[in-house]
Structure 1
Amino acid sequence: MSRMIRGAGLVLAAALALSACGGGDDGGDPLKGGDKGSGGTVTVGSADFAESELLGEIYAQAMEAKGVKVARKFKIGAREVYYGQVESGAIQVFPEYNGALLARVDKSNTTAATTEEVDTALKQKLPPALEILDPSKAEDKDALVVTAETAAKYKLKTIEDLKPVAKDLVVGGPPEFKTRQQGMLGLEKVYGLTFKQFKSLDTGPITLANLKKGQIQAGNLFTTNPAITKDKLVPLEDPKNLFGAQNVLPLVYKSKVDDTARQALNAVSAKLTTQDLIDMNGTMETEKADPEDVAKEWLKKAGLV
């Protein structure tokens, strides 16, 4: 799944920040390379959305519970920004989604769809310095979502059902959705859909608001968004597996992650489910709970701390 989390402006800003970095104190810059984990410290990163920060906290606290020294570099930005930081070793552990990661490292429009197929392809395509650890059962997939009223009006159940009416509909989502294979490009190539307009929206909540107000007729949301159930929205089925498997797993810079850290991370994957993500996302949204506290509570319930 493509984690759609900021636009080209963020990428440019991050690039400028990187080019401007000098020696000494990083001033809180989350993109500062640092020492690649020297001194036994493992740096955990996250993208710039709540679920990624939550997963980063879960990974960090799970390792800390096993005596691993951890540093955090959260809210970095889109995959276009953070992937290079992991590849360089500046960040050593990152919560990823296997299908979206594969789309980043393999531009051949792979047909891999299941968890096993995606992970096998990833192991072949990742740079030698990087490694994926065990996938969890938890998935957070991109989905094309409509309101119940729109689904009824156009008799929509699957993405394929949009073909006769797409020309009359506005679809919305974060900027990256417009240019990614697991987005507008794939909707056109795989399903033959040409929409009236794509409306670029910064975040999931803004997409949701536009969808509910009728300003867009279809929106890109993640399947673990609690609003889908709360607002009785309809995620359209994806029979051609455009979005494919999107299991949560740790991406690691393998020379800097020892067996203790690996075991802690794999233990998280063994316990984490999709329903866990939905529940935790709901807690963060409705109760305005801090990801650090939500992560701590889940780890306790899972018996990992």
Structure 2
Amino acid sequence: MSRRAAAAALVVLVPLAGCGDGSGTVPSPTVTSAAPDTVRIATGPTGQTAVLAHVYAGRLQEAGVDATVVDAGTERADYLGALERGEVELVADYTGNLYLHLRGRAPVGPASDVPAEPGPTAPSPSPSPTDGGLAEDISELLGLGEERADDDDVLAGVRDVLPEQLQILQPAPAENTVAVVVTRPTAVEHSLSGLEDLGTVCEELALGTDLDFAGRSYGPEGLADAYECVPREIVPFRSQDELVTALLEDRVQAAALFTASPAIGDNALVVLDDPLHNFVPQRVVPVAAEDLPGTAAAVVEEVSAQIGTEDLVLMTRMTTAREPYPPERAARYWLEIEDDT
């Protein structure tokens, strides 16, 4: 069964709680002990990364590597600290927010439908911010000046500031970054395929967003600087359900959504290309202890290469249903359909 067919089947099998692009609730931190030769995988910041933790564990176990999933918290200060202290060996994360955390900045927004994560309550064991650490734009943090950061820039930045005892493995093709989307009729009416096409029509459109969009570097100021796009109105919504409904009812004509949101495919929404990289890249990347055995790292990198954005959509759909699948079961389902392809 293809992933597309599997996702379509879940539209029938799994009643959705909403069109949110989040990935469920992860339990409170309870890191458990494990044998020294066991690869312990943290659940990470979102339900998506919790599913990926179980996917990694499943593949490692198939390869004869003892692996278990543990909860080291959803805050980067917690699970990265656990990695640095040797309490876990592996976690999945998102490149843009990981980089911002390592530079001492709060992330630009969660890669899920949960509220933006608060700042750490205790000092992080990760590097302290250096000069420029309070820059308003990730491109400034990377030293790119007016040039906007792309995937490669952010990956290189993460490698530069990652603590010495940690490493990043091969990132997945999957991403869950912010994008501007429109309905198909709006795309046809205004000949829209990318943000560069907005141009003169942007002032005719109302843009729906989450509550924090206006304060972010890629928000109104970013759209104006990169694409000379100043919407007629920016309308914040408390939930993605409300935002998507407003878009479908034409109360707003464009919306800022995460690219792994099931709402995009479910409603045939058009994602506008972002060739100037206004939005911070958020690729899925495994972060591992430097001493993770090479055999385990190879297995994880092989899995990582198979994870596309459509897989994140499927995982999100399963873990945000009215009767949500636990991350372990969602991972098992993904492994089974991947084995069948």
TM-score, length-normalised on structure 1?
Answer: 0.70
Question: Which of 188, 197, 201 is the equivalent residue of 2:238?
Answer: 201
One-letter amino acid matched to 2:79? V
Question: Which of 128, 151, 154 is the equivalent residue of 1:118?
Answer: 154
Map of 1:42 onto structure 2: 40
Map of 2:78 onto structure 1: 85
Relative to structure 1, the CA distance from residue 246 to residue 163 in structure 2 (aligned partners, 3 Å threshold; closer, same or farther) is: same
More helix by proportion, 1 or 2?
A: 1
Structure 2: distance between partners of 1:180 and 1:253 = 32
Secondary structure of residue in 2 paired with 1:252: strand
Secondary structure of residue in 2 paired with 1:229: helix
Map of 1:210 onto structure 2: 246
Query: CA offset at residue 260 of structure 1?
Result: 4.6
Map of 2:92 onto structure 1: 95
Secondary structure of residue in 1 paired with 2:268: coil
Relative to structure 1, the CA distance from residue 276 to residue 29 in structure 2 (aligned partners, 3 Å threshold; closer, same or farther) is: closer
Secondary structure of residue in 2 paired with 1:241: coil
Map of 1:149 onto structure 2: 185
Relative to structure 1, the CA distance from residue 176 to residue 258 in structure 2 (aligned partners, 3 Å threshold; closer, same or farther) is: farther
Structure 2: distance between partners of 1:187 and 1:109 = 19
One-letter amino acid matched to 1:136? A
Q: Is the Cα–Cα contact under 8 Å of residues 22 and 261 in structure 2 kept in the other structure?
A: no
Q: What whole-Å deviation, never above 9, does each CA across 1:51-78 have from its counterpart, x for those lacking one?
A: 33332331233344444342332883xx
Structure 1: distance between partners of 2:148 and 2:293 = 30
Q: Is the Cα–Cα contact under 8 Å of residues 45 and 93 in structure 1 kept in the other structure?
A: no
Relative to structure 1, the CA distance from residue 217 to residue 180 in structure 2 (aligned partners, 3 Å threshold; closer, same or farther) is: same
Q: What is the total number of aligned residue pairs between the two structures?
A: 273
Alignment pair present for 1:127 and 2:163: yes
User: Tell me, which stretches of 5 or more residues in structure 1 are unaligned?
Assistant: 7-27, 77-81
Structure 2: distance between partners of 1:37 and 1:177 = 41
**Residue pairs, 1:159-170, within 5 angstroms:** 159-170=195-206
Question: Which of 278, 294, 298 is the equivalent residue of 2:330?
Answer: 294
Map of 2:130 onto structure 1: none
Q: What whole-Å deviation, never above 9, does each CA across 1:73-128 have from its counterpart, x for those lacking one?
A: 2883xxxxx22123322665332233443354454254475544432232113233
Question: Which of 240, 245, 249 is the equivalent residue of 2:276?
Answer: 240
Structure 2: distance between partners of 1:95 and 1:147 = 32
Relative to structure 1, the CA distance from residue 300 to residue 287 in structure 2 (aligned partners, 3 Å threshold; closer, same or farther) is: farther
One-letter amino acid matched to 1:158? G
Aligned-residue identity in percent: 25
Question: Which of 200, 223, 227 is the equivalent residue of 1:191?
Answer: 227
Query: CA offset at residue 176 of structure 1?
Result: 4.2
Relative to structure 1, the CA distance from residue 177 to residue 125 in structure 2 (aligned partners, 3 Å threshold; closer, same or farther) is: farther
User: Tell me, which stretches of 5 or more residues in structure 2 are unaligned?
Assistant: 1-20, 104-137
Map of 1:263 onto structure 2: 298
Relative to structure 1, the CA distance from residue 41 to residue 191 in structure 2 (aligned partners, 3 Å threshold; closer, same or farther) is: same
Q: What whole-Å deviation, never above 9, does each CA across 1:118-153 have from its counterpart, x for those lacking one?
A: 322321132334321111233333211011233344
